[in-house]
Every structure is written in structure tokens, then in C-alpha cells.
């Protein structure tokens, strides 16, 4: 919708110029605006045909519009017509509106490029216009433009960040909504199952309280996880028989990518105890200080897999 509105405004405005309803009537003026309209329509046609994505079309159209308006403004000044001052100022206002549209379309980093073109066009125009009053305000106008473009860019960046956070929040909200849709007994069973271990009779009751699909997915996922964990422990026992049972448990968690804090919590052991056992594991594997324990354990497990397959 934003692109359609922008294309409609550009097409109507340029058509007025081409038919002599606004602006000046000179051959170069007609040529520039005919090229301008042609490029805009080609970009829109490429978007309609799905040759370019929406964002690329928006970026290209705003930059092309800015470039043609800047070129037209500079030629106005060089032409030396009677209405040069007014036409140049009118085009600078149009450049500002084009930059505002870029902000409305959330085109990141585009504001800096359009801002540079606007300030450069403004500086050249004010310098060539033979009006001392306009030249006196040149610095103020440039500062105003620079500040507005910087604020536009920050607005786009902050809006993009907020949109990203909103997507994340909605995803989490859907997950919570799924949990809260559960019946009270189902939620209680779900929490209890993750709290501690229970005898098989209690586990069976808690699982039966869940709805069939949730219970099935829970069992399948846990079975896959425990099967893989047992397989890794079996490979460690086969390839590294010198490791103790406790050390193999630590190796399993290291292979799973667990950090030291997680290992301490899962095994209910202190940090010093885990560090001591890691040192012992490194000694038994005869690792050098620069060698990575995780990579060495992965190789040990994978080598056993290859031997089994062969």
C-alpha cells in the first residue's frame, strides 16, 4: 500500500510536469522528467513481475527520485531563469518530503544517503543563487537537515528493533498460551514430571493426566534423548575404559555442549569438584594444554562409530 501510494504521487506529479501544468517549459526539463517517470515505472513493473522484492523497489525508487530531483534543482540554478529561486526552494521541499517517505517506509540507512544528497543539493543551490539573505541561512538549513536525517535514521532503527522484540514477545506469548490452555491437572503433571524423579507407578499416573498428544511427544522426545545419551556413554566406555563412571557423566555433558555451571547443577557437584575431574580426564586422555577437551571427546566418540560401521 505504501509503495502504491508513493508510485501514484510520483506518476501524477511527473505527468503534470510533462504536460506543462507545473514547472517550466524547456526541452531539458521535459527530458529529465520523462526519464524520471520512465525509470520509476520500470522499477514498479519489475516489482509487479516479482523480479525484485518490495524493499529493493522502495530503496531504488526513493534513491532515483532523490537523484533526479537533485539534478533538476542544480540545472534550475545553472539555467538562470527568472523563477530560479522559487523553483529551487520548491524542489528542496520535495527532497525533504521524499526523505520523510523513506522514514515512513522504514528504509534503514537510506536516510543517510538521501540526507547527503539533500545537503549537497542545498549547499550548491544556495551558493549559486544570487541572494544574500538565503546564503546567510545556509548553515542553519544544513544543520536542520542533518539533524532531521539523523533522527529519521534512529527512528527507523528503533522501530525495527521494536518490531523484532514484538515478534519474539508474540512467540513467547503463544508458548505461554499453549501452557495455560492445559487443564489444571495437566499443568500440574507437566510441572511435577520436570521437578524430580518418581517411582514408575507415579510417573504413569502423571503421564496419563496429560492429553494423549502431549504425552506421546514427551515420551518420544525423552526416549530419543536417553537413547542418544546411553549410546554416547557406551562409546565412551568402549573407547576410554580408563574413565570412571563419574568422569563419563561429565564427558557426556561436555559433549552435549553444557557449560560448567550447568554441569555443576545437573550433577549436583561443586565447581572445584568438576574442575578436578576435568583435569583428571585431560590427563587420562594425555591432552596438551592447548588442546580442546570437547573436540577430543567428540573424536573419541566418532571414531568408535566409524569402527562399528566398518
pLDDT in the model for residue 77? 74
Return the pLDDT at 85. Answer: 65
Q: Residue 57 is placed in which grid cell?
A: 523497489
CA–CA separation, 302 and 52 (whole Å): 46
Grid look-up 565412551 returns 236
Task: Looking at the structure, tell me whether residues 124 and 187 fall in a common domain.
Answer: no
- List phi, psi (to 5°) of 198: -135, 160
Residue 155 resides in a domain: yes
CB 149 within 8 A of CB 96: no
- Are 69 and 156 found together in one domain? yes
Q: Is residue 228 part of a domain?
A: yes
The C-alpha cell at 214 is 502431549
Q: Is 25 helix (H, G, I), strand (E, B) or coil?
A: coil
Query: Do residues 206 and 213 touch, judged by C-beta distance below 8 A?
Result: no
pLDDT of 310: 45
Cell 500500500 found at: 1
Residue 247: helix, strand or coil by DSSP?
helix
Report whether 249 contacts 267 (CB < 8 A).
Answer: yes
- Examine the domain organization and report whether 128 and 6 are in the same domain: yes
Residues 118 and 201 in one domain: no
Q: Are 145 and 119 in contact (CB under 8 A)?
A: yes
Same domain, 59 and 154: yes
Please check whether residue 13 lies inside any domain of the structure.
Answer: yes
Angle of helix 84-104 relative to helix 54-79, nearest 10 degrees, comes to: 170
* Same domain for 105 and 19: yes
Does residue 174 form part of some domain?
Answer: no
Q: Which residues of the chain have pLDDT under 50?
A: 305-310
What pLDDT is recorded for position 19?
Answer: 74
Residue 75 burial class via C-beta count within 10 angstroms: exposed 0-12, middle 13-18, buried 19 and up: middle
Task: Name the domain boundary from 108, 134, 169.
Answer: 169
Alpha-carbon separation of residue 130 from 62, 136, 145 (angstroms): 30, 12, 22
Indicate whether 139 and 190 sit together in one domain: no
Q: Please, are residues 154 and 177 in contact by the beta-carbon 8 Å criterion?
A: no
- Beta carbons of 305 and 267 less than 8 angstroms apart: no
Is residue 286 domain-shared with residue 196, that is, in the same domain? no
**CATH code, 292:** 1.10.10.10
Q: Is residue 176 part of a domain?
A: no
* Domain stops at, among 239, 257, 277: 239
Query: Furthest-apart CA pair in the chain: how many Å?
Result: 97
User: Is residue 175 domain-resident?
Assistant: no
Q: What is the Cα–Cα distance from 17 to 92, expressed in whole angstroms?
A: 16
Q: pTM here? A: 0.46
Tell me the per-residue pLDDT of 4-21, one tens digit each, with 9 for 90 and over: 777 787 788 878 777 767
Same domain, residue pair 290 and 150: no
* Residue 179: count of CB within 10 angstroms of its CB: 11
- Asked, for residue 37, whether it belongs to a domain, the answer is yes
Crossing angle (nearest 10°) for helices 110-128 and 54-79: 10
Decide if 7 is inside a domain.
yes
| Cα 35 to Cα 38, 60, 67, 252, distances in angstroms | 5, 15, 12, 67
Helix then strand then coil, % of the chain, to nearest 5: 80, 0, 20
| 148 and 33 share one domain | yes
pLDDT number for residue 81: 60
Q: Which of 147, 169, 191 is the last residue of a domain?
A: 169
Which cell goes with 38?
Answer: 520512465
**Domain ranges, residue 201:** 182-239
Cα dihedral across residues 287, 291, 293, 294: positive or negative = negative
Q: Which helix (H) or strand (E) holds 12?
A: helix 2-18
Q: Are residues 74 and 220 in the same domain?
A: no
Query: Looking at the structure, do residues 156 and 12 belong to the same domain, yes or no?
Result: yes
Our count of domains for the chain comes to 3
SS3 80: coil
The answer to whether 145 and 121 are in contact (CB under 8 A) is no
Amino acid at each position: 500500500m505504501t509503495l502504491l501510494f508513493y508510485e501514484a504521487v510520483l506518476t501524477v506529479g511527473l505527468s503534470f510536469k510533462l504536460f506543462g501544468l507545473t514547472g517550466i517549459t524547456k526541452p531539458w526539463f521535459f527530458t529529465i522528467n520523462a526519464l524520471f517517470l520512465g525509470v520509476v515505472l520500470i522499477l514498479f513493473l519489475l516489482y509487479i513481475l516479482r523480479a525484485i522484492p518490495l524493499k529493493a523497489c522502495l530503496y531504488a525508487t526513493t534513491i532515483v527520485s532523490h537523484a533526479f530531483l537533485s539534478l533538476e534543482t542544480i540545472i534550475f540554478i545553472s539555467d538562470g531563469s527568472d523563477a530560479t529561486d522559487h523553483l529551487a526552494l520548491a524542489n528542496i521541499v520535495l527532497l525533504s518530503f521524499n526523505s520523510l517517505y523513506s522514514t515512513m517506509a522504514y528504509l534503514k540507512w537510506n536516510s543517510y544517503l538521501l540526507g547527503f544528497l539533500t545537503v549537497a543539493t542545498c549547499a550548491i543551490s544556495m551558493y549559486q543563487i544570487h541572494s544574500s539573505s538565503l546564503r546567510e541561512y545556509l548553515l542553519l538549513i544544513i544543520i536542520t537537515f542533518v539533524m532531521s536525517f539523523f533522527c529519521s535514521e534512529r527512528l527507523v532503527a528503533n522501530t525495527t528493533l521494536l518490531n523484532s522484540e514484538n515478534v519474539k514477545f508474540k512467540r513467547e506469548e503463544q508458548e505461554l498460551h499453549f501452557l495455560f490452555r492445559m487443564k489444571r491437572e495437566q499443568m500440574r503433571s507437566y510441572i511435577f514430571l520436570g521437578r524430580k524423579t518418581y517411582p514408575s507407578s507415579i510417573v504413569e499416573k502423571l503421564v496419563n493426566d496429560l492429553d494423549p498428544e502431549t504425552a506421546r511427544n514427551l515420551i518420544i522426545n525423552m526416549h530419543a534423548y536417553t537413547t542418544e545419551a546411553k549410546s554416547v556413554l557406551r562409546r565412551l566406555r568402549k573407547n576410554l575404559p580408563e574413565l570412571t563412571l563419574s568422569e563419563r557423566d561429565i564427558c557426556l555433558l561436555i559433549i552435549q555442549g553444557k557449560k560448567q555451571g550447568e554441569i555443576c547443577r545437573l550433577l549436583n557437584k561443586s565447581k572445584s569438584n568438576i574442575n578436578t575431574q576435568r583435569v583428571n580426564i585431560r590427563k587420562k586422555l594425555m591432552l596438551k594444554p592447548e588442546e580442546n577437551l570437547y573436540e577430543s571427546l567428540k573424536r573419541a566418540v566418532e571414531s568408535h562409530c566409524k569402527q562399528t560401521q566398518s
